[in-house]
Chains A and B, each alone.
Chain A
């Protein structure tokens, strides 16, 4: 998936990937990755948890606008099945999780 992101970005299109294996995301040297320590098949979280899915998408959109340099793999702070997800209030404001984890 990192190679796909590299090829697309090389054609001038912004990419953001989710990753479930941190070492592979780092080795891929892709433009922008968000890493989650969640099980395979669950990159957006748990079935039916729309607030969680929207939170991860907000983080991806924030990464698209906020990442200051190529090659960052930002680890999101969410524990598996032990978080409560509040609705995203302002989609134009960058995600706090991405800003603080990336120290942007």
Chain B
């Protein structure tokens, strides 16, 4: 199922058709337009139902240089040692520790071309950049746990994982969460 590289993340292979589709979506103007269209078709009706009521608002309580920061990606990133996400639909999350190296990671997602993200995981999960910002004291602290989600078309199915991660982040005493899409 997986190819091995010595220093980078691994790719969970999707079927040949899906790989071609993902490459078309990421790398051509027409494919990109299709990708944007399909995202809207899937997401908009669900968001109209679920993203209602007042928009929550919690301004940052302290300077960024004193804040504890959590990173979340929905690009299918997870520890290589953890079970991969189901490629076409998976409503679960994975914890990624702050010291994870690119070679410790894998990407299991079939809806975008992972070629560049496998070359540089920071495109979808900028953990190395955030470790640098922690060392430079730009951010206060990088939290111990970060989170990866995979591809899931049903927001309702995702809600338990979403609530679980939100609870974990609150309990960890985090101040700021940065979210990066596929």
Task: List chain A positions with a Cβ less than 8 A from chain B.
Answer: 1-21, 23-24, 27-31, 39-48, 50, 53-54, 57, 60-61, 64-65, 69-71, 91-92
Contacts and interface: CB of A to CB of B under 8 A. Distances in A.
**Could you say which interface size class chain B belongs to?**
35 or more
Nearest to B35: A40
Given A13-B166, A21-B40, A29-B52, 16 more contacts: A3-B50, A3-B158, A5-B177, A9-B58, A17-B180, A23-B40, A23-B44, A24-B43, A30-B55, A40-B35, A41-B182, A44-B129, A45-B123, A54-B133, A61-B176, A69-B57
A70 B59 CA distance: 9
A41 B112 contact: yes
B64 A53 contact: no
B176 A14 contact: yes
B47 A39 contact: no
A15 to B, nearest CB: 5
Contact of B55 (A13, A20, A29, A47): A29
Contact of A4 (B39, B113, B165): B165
